[in-house]
């Protein structure tokens, strides 16, 4: 029982009855690391994202040092190394925390990607983000995070009653039915994101949704209307 802990997820710490197993009281803790992901009782997934961002930055700095030592200056090779060595760190368990975290909280993890691209381009840190991404023909990291989240969403919807995934999905559906408009859960955030991408009730599977999201991103970022708002994006038409 020494490795078994209890975490009560709530907005602020409160007094709850003790959890016991066969007469033994199970220790209640504020945070717990499960499969490498740190979960916090009152801060939710924020702590996990902070940790992944910090580890991702360390991996990025190690990559930059190694490229400098080996005199690797080919941008395509450096991007491939980033995708192999740094990006997996930032992507870890994204199908879980992307739908549980406000978009504003994801900025710090996305910043690692932008920091890398600006660094190898040798441009100022204030350089237009969309211009930097367009230079490399890359999408923001969150589109991959949402792709993985929607894959997980599809698995949940297709799960059978004999699987734990089915129980998890039914719990999300129950939460969605009782929460008010100001309250959030993983499933509601997934549905809101799909609505923002113009998919919403037309959702069929993750591949169609991501293709639609990519098209929406390209048009809203580099389309004619976007270029009239920013002359810096005229090149990426």
* Residue pLDDT, tens place only, 216-226: 888 888 776 55
Model confidence band, residue 76 (pLDDT cutoffs 50, 70, 90): very high
Which of the four pLDDT bands, split at 50, 70 and 90, describes residue 64? very high
* 86 pLDDT tier (thresholds 50, 70, 90): very high
Where is pLDDT greater, at 148 or 16?
Answer: 148
Mean pLDDT, rounded, for 31-44? 86
Q: Is 44 helix (H, G, I), strand (E, B) or coil?
A: strand
Q: Percentage of residues in the chain with pLDDT exceeding 90?
A: 43
What does the pLDDT read at residue 226?
52
Mean pLDDT of 50-77: 95
Region 34-55: mean pLDDT is 88
Please check whether residue 213 is in contact with residue 107, taking contact to mean a CB–CB distance below 8 angstroms.
Answer: no
> What percentage of the chain reaches a pLDDT higher than 70?
93
Q: Per mean pLDDT, which of 44-53, 112-121, 191-200 is the most reliable? A: 112-121
Q: What SS3 string covers the chain?
A: CCCCCECCCCCCCCCCCCEEECCEEECECCEEEECCEEEECCCECHHHHHHHHHHHHHHHHHHHHHHHHCCCCCHHHHHHHHHHHCHHHHHCCHHHHHHHCCHHHHHHHHHHHHHHHHHHHCCCCCCCHHHHHHHHCCCCHHHHHHHHHHHHHHHHHHCCCCCHHHHHHHHHHHHHHHCCCCCCCHHHHHHHHHHHCCCHHHCCCHHHHHHHHHHHHHHHHHCHHHHHHCHHHCCCC
Q: What is the mean pLDDT of residues 99-119?
A: 88
Predicted confidence (pLDDT) per residue in 170-186, tens digit: 999 998 888 887 778 89
Confidence at residue 138, expressed as pLDDT on a 0 to 100 scale: 93
pLDDT of amino acid 195: 86
Entry pTM? 0.82
Residue 65 has pLDDT above 90, yes or no: yes
Q: What is the mean pLDDT of the chain?
A: 87
CB atoms within 10 A of CB 26: 13
> What pLDDT sits at residue 72?
95
Question: How many other C-beta atoms lie within 10 A of the C-beta of residue 139?
Answer: 17
Pairing of strands 24-26, 31-34: unpaired
Q: Which of residues 57 and 21 earns the better pLDDT score?
A: 57
User: Cα separation of 149 and 143, whole Å?
Assistant: 10
């Amino acid at each position: 029982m020494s490795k078994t802990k209890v975490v009560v997820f709530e907005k602020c710490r409160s007094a709850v009855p003790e959890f016991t197993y066969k007469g033994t009281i199970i220790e209640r803790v504020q945070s717990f690391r499960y499969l490498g992901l740190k979960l916090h009782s009152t801060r939710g997934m924020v702590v996990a994202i902070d940790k992944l961002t910090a580890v991702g930055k360390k991996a990025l700095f190690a990559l930059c040092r190694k490229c400098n030592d080996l005199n690797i200056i080919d941008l395509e090779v450096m991007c491939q190394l980033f995708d192999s060595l740094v990006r997996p760190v930032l992507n870890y368990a994204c199908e879980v925390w992307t739908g549980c975290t406000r978009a504003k909280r994801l900025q710090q993890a996305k910043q690692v990607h932008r920091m890398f691209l600006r660094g190898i381009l040798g441009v100022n840190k204030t350089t237009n983000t969309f211009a930097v991404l367009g230079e490399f023909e890359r999408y923001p990291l969150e589109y991959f995070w949402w792709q993985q989240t929607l894959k997980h969403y599809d698995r949940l919807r297709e799960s059978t009653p004999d699987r734990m995934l089915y129980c998890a999905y039914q719990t999300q559906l129950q939460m969605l039915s009782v929460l008010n408009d100001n309250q959030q859960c993983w499933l509601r955030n997934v549905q809101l994101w799909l609505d923002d991408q113009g998919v919403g009730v037309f959702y069929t599977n993750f591949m169609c949704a991501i293709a639609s999201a990519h098209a929406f991103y390209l048009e809203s970022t580099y389309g004619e209307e976007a270029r009239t708002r920013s002359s810096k994006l005229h090149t990426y038409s």
